[in-house]
Amino acid sequence: MVKVEFLGPIGREPMEVNINNLKELKDIFKDDEKLQEWLKISAVAVNDELVNSSDVSLKEGDRVSILPPVCGG
């Protein structure tokens, strides 16, 4: 299983999904209109490293984080 967490203001509980890559996660989210609004403006980290495409393989125990726009300070 892969754990998916939604950070900051997205305000959703983490979920566990049985997927082998990020493209499968994209497919799971495709009909979730509210989440799509966030995904348009959110970056993605796998195991706490930002990734630059959805062409990323995942394995058991990996963690995916969804990061909406940031504002520190």
CA atoms in the 13 A half-sphere facing the CB of 53: 3
Of residues 1 and 54, the one with the C-beta less far from other proteins: 54
15 near other proteins, judged by CB under 8 A:
no
Q: Does 44 bind other proteins (CB under 8 A)?
A: yes
Q: Which of 52, 59, 60, 61 binds other proteins (CB under 8 A)?
A: 52
Helix (H) or strand (E) holding 69: none
Burial of 35 (0-12, 13-18, 19+ CB in 10 A): middle
Provide the minimum distance between the beta carbon of 59 and other proteins in the complex, in angstroms, as a whole number.
18
Q: What is the DSSP letter of 20?
A: S
Q: Site residues (CB under 8 A) for other proteins? A: 7-9, 22, 25-26, 29-30, 36, 39-45, 48-54, 65-73
